[in-house]
């Protein structure tokens, strides 16, 4: 996974198939839902920003454990939830069933969506599509399956926010694959204009999500145990390097803490974008 916001140098085309295979294994490791369920408010805000309405056909791309999926279904939309990691869809399915929500779940690659042109009124993604390695292809696919006048709603971590900083720390220990654009570029308005600007209009809003944990050490332990990219990074290091990464991540969390010593409250900046297809 790419952990910095710089664009890659012009080199030989990366092997996207191999990269996605490794990514699938990364996101299937641990239990992303432990972190993912804490992000539910982002899905709710995104559904409001994208003006999801009852009866609309909504697609959640790289849905993970279904935060945007549930938000859209709660608004009585007809929702199809997709991800290329079946285990993540199982988590979303269990959540939908617990709430009695009728949602279709389908394994799908964001870069090759198995749907007809113009099939959906709205396409959503919360911290999901940003990790697809071929940005242009996934953006083009989201536009393709959207009807003219339809909306895309995307939430992406920014390069300068807490999660962007975390990715840079992890990337300094476990370098990202060469030649692949950083997922953090999705958190910049300029990059979204590059991806969508010729076929859509954009409205971007910078927001913050507060990571709330018992302490800096608690946050790092949860990410180390359950968040695939961090779990895999620790697994790739020897004992001394693991200890160093642990110290650096705890220090980062403490530096971002705004709780006043009561616990840990770390605001993480993200970009909320609503893209209207022409």
pLDDT (tens digit, 9 = 90+) per residue, 83-126? 999 999 999 999 999 999 999 999 999 999 999 999 999 999 99
Q: Find the mean pLDDT for residues 193-205.
A: 94
- Name the maximum alpha-carbon separation found in the chain: 55
CB 171 within 8 A of CB 3: yes
Mark out the alpha helices in the chain (DSSP H runs).
16-28, 32-36, 40-49, 67-74, 86-99, 135-144, 162-173, 189-196, 216-226, 228-235, 239-256
* Domains and their CATH numbers in the chain: 16-212+269-277 (3.40.50.150)
pLDDT tens by residue, 222-234: 999 999 999 999 9
pLDDT tens by residue, 15-57: 888 888 888 899 999 899 999 999 999 999 999 999 999 999 9
DSSP code, position 53 = -
- The rounded mean pLDDT for the chain is 95
Tokens 């300094």 belong to residue: 172
Confidence of residue 1 (pLDDT cuts 50, 70, 90): very low
**pTM exceeds 0.85, yes or no:** yes
SS3 assignment, position 278? coil
b/e string for 105-122 if b means 16 or more Cβ within 10 A? Answer: beebbbbebebeeebbbb
Where does residue 213 rank: exposed (0-12), middle (13-18), buried (19+ CB within 10 A)? buried
Structure tokens at 74: 């709660």
Rounded Cα–Cα distance for residues 84 and 62 (Å): 7
Phi, psi (rounded to 5 degrees) for 104: -90, 130
From the list 265, 183, 180, 172, the residue with the least C-alpha distance to 218 is 265
Rounded Cα–Cα distance for residues 25 and 232 (Å): 9
From the list 94, 91, 98, 63, the residue with the least C-alpha distance to 79 is 63
From the list 89, 41, 68, the residue with the least C-alpha distance to 153 is 68
Rounded Cα–Cα distance for residues 211 and 57 (Å): 31
């Amino acid at each position: 996974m790419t952990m910095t916001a710089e664009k890659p140098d012009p080199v030989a085309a990366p092997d996207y198939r191999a990269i996605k295979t490794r990514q699938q294994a990364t996101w299937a490791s641990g239990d992303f839902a432990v972190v993912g369920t804490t992000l539910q408010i982002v899905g709710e805000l995104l559904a409001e920003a994208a003006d999801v309405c009852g009866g609309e056909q909504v697609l959640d791309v790289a849905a993970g454990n279904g935060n945007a999926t549930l938000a859209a279904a709660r608004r009585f939309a007809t929702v199809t939830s997709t991800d290329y990691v079946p285990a993540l869809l199982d988590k979303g399915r269990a959540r939908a069933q617990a709430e009695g929500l009728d949602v279709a779940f389908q394994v799908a690659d964001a870069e090759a969506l198995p749907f007809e042109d113009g099939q959906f009124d709205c396409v959503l993604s919360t911290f999901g599509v940003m990790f697809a390695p071929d940005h242009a292809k996934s953006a083009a696919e989201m536009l393709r399956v959207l009807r003219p006048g339809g909306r895309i709603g995307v939430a992406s971590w920014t390069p300068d926010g807490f999660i962007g900083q975390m990715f840079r720390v992890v990337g300094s220990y476990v370098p990202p694959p060469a030649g692949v654009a950083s997922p953090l570029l999705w958190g910049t308005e300029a990059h979204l204009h590059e991806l969508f600007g010729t076929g859509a209009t954009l409205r971007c809003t910078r927001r913050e999500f507060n990571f709330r944990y018992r302490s800096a050490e608690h946050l790092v332990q949860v990410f180390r145990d359950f968040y695939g990219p961090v779990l895999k990074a620790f697994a790739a290091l020897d004992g001394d390097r693991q200890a160093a990464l642990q110290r650096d991540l705890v220090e980062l969390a403490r530096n971002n803490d705004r709780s006043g010593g009561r616990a840990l409250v770390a605001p993480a900046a993200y970009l909320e974008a609503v893209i209207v297809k022409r």
